[in-house]
Structure 1
Amino acid sequence: MLEDSIKYQLQGDDWLKRVGIGGLVVILGIFVVPLFTFQGYMLEVMRRVLGGDTATPPEWDELDLVEATVDGLRYLLVVLPYTIGALLVAMIPAAIVAVLGVASGNEGLFFLAVLIAVLCYFLGLIAVAVAVPVATANFVRKDSVSAAFDLDVLRTLVTNRTMLVAVLLAFAVNIIASAVGSALGFTIIGLLAVPWVQFVFQSAIFYVWGSGFADAYEEEYGEPPLDRGTDVSSGDPSAPAEGTF
């Protein structure tokens, strides 16, 4: 899966055009709105993989860019609660211990609070790293923000071995991307290529998440997350035609 994910955007006769546009969208992200378009494209990558199509990456001229941008914005409503939740898990216990330390004048409690904050922070990162891929895929599957917080799906799939392997593989893709980006950064020409590399590897991460979720979902529920016989661009065949919150 790792090799297939990295090669995903290099498929087809128009791969150079597709990757070229993708890199430009990354660069235009400095204007904020294209960031949501970029994220919406990644969600479409996942949607296709969930539907069993791993051979035809989305072409930019086939996408409704407004819809993709809106999807990217909606995805922010998925990621933010998980991120904020992880921060709260890290900060609240530490804050309580710190207040007790200040109130009692015990410096040891203050340093203990720092250690607790660091420990909880890393635990929160691990929890988010496992939960967000599942939440993202279920959001795409149902085309609904609320589906990202479906406790039944979360409880079932975050502990599924196939999904956990996919999370680790996506982490490996991220490490490879960072290494490639760092290596390219040593030259001006290489540095200029980073946005295109980022596009390819970000697609790879969503490919791995989608593939892992699809396999894990079928293992747990006995059916694919999306009907292989339907147009995957429309999301879950049982979901409304329009995205819902």
Structure 2
Amino acid sequence: MISESFKYMFNDENWKKKLAIGGIIGAIPILNLALYGYMIDTIKLVLGGVEDKSPEFNIVNQFIEGIIGIVIISIYIIIPISLLIIGYVFLGGSFLLILDDKTAGLGVMMMLIFILFLILYMLCSILFALIIPIALSHYVNTGKLSSIFEFKTLFSILKKTWLDILIFYIILTIAIVILEVIIYMVALIFAMTVILIPVAIWIFGMLMYYITTVSGYFYGKIYLKGVNELNK
């Protein structure tokens, strides 16, 4: 499933054209939010059983869907971010208290509380990073934004798929690092000529597009796997 995710884009006979267009979209700030919508469209195709082609471009609709995708992701990351902010409030207060001998003990306690919040932040970040693919796919499958709060269903699917998602993230991260190093070296050569700087930016945009298709395909497939295992 993971290897198929990385090959999915090339199943489309027009993949070169789409990669070129996707690179332009990915290189333009704000407009590149449409790639999140493109990822959602990819999930739709996969859930519909279409795996031999990637979505066509519809910038307006995909931009709107991209914003919805960002909202869904933001809803899930707001909890770990809140924990981190609260933790740093305790950390800042602990430094002030430790400076005074009378309140040094309380300062140490607040620093320990900061460490606790930091641990909670990391655990929540991992948990929500694992559930986001399921939540996005569940939203696509149901067509209802409220479905991202159907935690019983989401966690039931996650129990069947969390290891696959974790492995995917690890492999994707390694692949991105390798590709970024290669692309950076190529882009550096292009950047030596001012006229070719847009080409260098376009190359990084293509990487964003590729990651979009890889992720969208995997999210759809892993969701289907989880649902199928629940229905057995």
The CA distance in 2 between the partners of 1:178 and 1:198, in whole Å, is 13
Name the CA distance, whole Å, in 2 between partners of 1:55 and 1:167.
Answer: 26
* Aligned AA (1:176): A
Matched to 1:138, the amino acid is H
- Residues 164 and 137 of structure 1: CA distance in aligned 2, closer, same or farther (over 3 Å): farther
Aligned to 1:175: 174
In the TM superposition, 1:51-62 aligns within 5 A as 51-60=48-57
Partner of 2:194: none
Distance 1:220 1:54, change over 3 A: same
| One-letter code aligned to 1:86 | P
Distance across 2 between alignment mates of 1:154 and 1:168: 19
Contact 2:47 2:220 in 1 (8 A): yes
Residue type of the alignment partner of 1:53 = V
Could you tell me the TM-score, scaled by structure 1's length?
Answer: 0.77
User: Where in structure 1 do 4 or more consecutive aligned residues deviate above 3 Å?
Assistant: 89-105, 189-192
Deviation at 1:169, TM superposition (A): 1.2
Q: Which moved more, 1:172-181 or 1:107-116?
A: 107-116
Larger RCO of the pair (alpha carbons < 8 Å, separation 6+): 2
Let me know the Cα RMSD of the aligned residues. 2.4
Q: Tell me the secondary structure at the aligned position of residue 53 of structure 1.
A: coil
Can you list the C-alpha shifts for 1:173-192, whole angstroms capped at 9, x where unaligned?
Answer: 13311221123213425754
Q: Secondary structure at the match of 1:170?
A: helix
**Which residue of structure 2 aligns with residue 151 of structure 1?**
151
| Aligned pairs, number | 215
Structure 1 residue 135, shift from structure 2 partner: 0.8
Cα deviation digits, residues 50-90 of structure 1 (max 9, x gap): 22222211122xx4x32222211122221111111111234
Give the CA deviation at 1:218: 1.3
Q: Larger radius of gyration, structure 1 or 2?
A: 2
Q: Distance in 1 between matches of 2:178 and 2:125?
A: 21
Structure 1 portions without partners, runs of 5+: 223-245
What is the Cα deviation at residue 215 of structure 1?
A: 0.9
Alignment of 1:1-245 (within 5 A): 1-28=1-28, 30=29, 32=30, 34-60=31-57, 63=58, 65-92=59-86, 95=89, 104-106=103-105, 107-160=107-160, 162-187=161-186, 188-189=188-189, 191-192=200-201, 193-222=203-232
How much has 1:117 moved relative to structure 2?
3.5
1: CA distance, partners of 2:21 / 2:125: 32
Q: Cα–Cα, structure 1 residues 124 and 12, in superposed 2: closer, same or farther, change >3 Å?
A: same
Q: Secondary structure at the match of 2:49?
A: coil
The structural deviation recorded for 1:99 is 5.4
How high is the sequence identity, in percent, across the aligned residues? 19
Higher helix share: 2
Structure 1 position 204, deviation (Å):
0.6
